[in-house]
Amino acid sequence: MKIALVGVTGYTGATLFKLLKQHPEVDEVRLYGRSTPSDDELAALLSGFRHLSLHIHEYSSVNIMQECDLVFFATPAKVTSQLALDFIQADFPVIDLSGDFRLKDSADYERYYQAPAAPSQALQAASYNLADLKKPQSNYIANPGCYATATLLATIPLLAADLIDLDSLIVDAKSGLSGAGKKLTTSSHYAYINENSLPYKVNQHQHIPEIIQELQTWQPAFKTLQFTTTLIPVTRGIMASVYAKPKKPLSQAELYQTFADFYQDKPFVRVLKDGFPSLKEVAYSNYTDIGLAYDEASHTIFICSVIDNLMKGASSQAIQNMNLLCGFPLETGLTALPTFF
């Protein structure tokens, strides 16, 4: 099949391009953009792909639909809300890695993204698809965010089993620097972030309403959570530490079995019976690793989930969603093992 990729020069876009080039069902990847650097400029931006002849075509929804079978948008927020309507009207397959179509409530989008939302009818047409747990419900897939992916995979089994008090959920999530994107900021300077760590967007992160929206599909009574994000001095990876109070006492074995049963047929989620995962154990892979504990003294459940933010948190989950949408075996193009050393 022929794939269009809009946005290749960022970390997520470049990662997605690499995965698409390695996918056995993909015959061609055509690059598109609203800005079109020269081929020499593009080669400098994507120097790791210097053996390939790369060219960015001027963006045209008409040309994409005529020449390709599916389009990926690896663009920042506030782009697809303007560009995607043609594809929705034509029911053309889209996988959108931005946040523009994840939220069904336009007021939530406008509050957290500080921009006008896409038309309500278009928002309702999109399918928010956590690839390990759902099959797409439409041809427009809103790929989940990185923090949301790590948090949801750690918390959904608790809600599905009705194990916790819904108002007790606390999430402390930490991300590597690539999650902040390629644009240089004060906090992304090496001299600042090296040997440093800082919370950011506390109670204001745009993935908060995304997490709440999805958890409400499992427990409609769920209202909110305490969610803190912290930047840490590593290149890639997200670790979500989840705390919750159980409705009644339970054992460590019962907690483990809840997760093991929930994910027993999910090849990309690995539940640890003992110990806890680390970021490197999922690096450069589509895996999510989950560790857990129950403290009888404080009656507190602890869940730790780790993902690679550029892979499971974005690009490889997008490939997983493509496999689901196109009817390919789930693991097609996603068999790379973690680079854990």
What are the catalytic residues?
146
β-pairing verdict for 28-33 and 2-6: parallel
Distance CA 193, CA 99 (A): 26
Separation between Cα atoms, residue 185 and residue 107, nearest integer Å? 28
Give the span between the Cα atoms of 19 and 341, in whole angstroms: 21
What is the C-alpha end-to-end distance of the chain, expressed in Å?
35
DSSP 178: G
Give how far Cα 187 sits from Cα of 22, 52, 183, 231, 325, Å.
34, 33, 11, 9, 38
**Per-residue CA distances from 165 to 161, 220, 251, 302 (Å):** 12, 13, 17, 14
Tell me how far CA of residue 50 lies from CA of 20, 46, 47, in angstroms.
16, 7, 5
SS3 71: strand
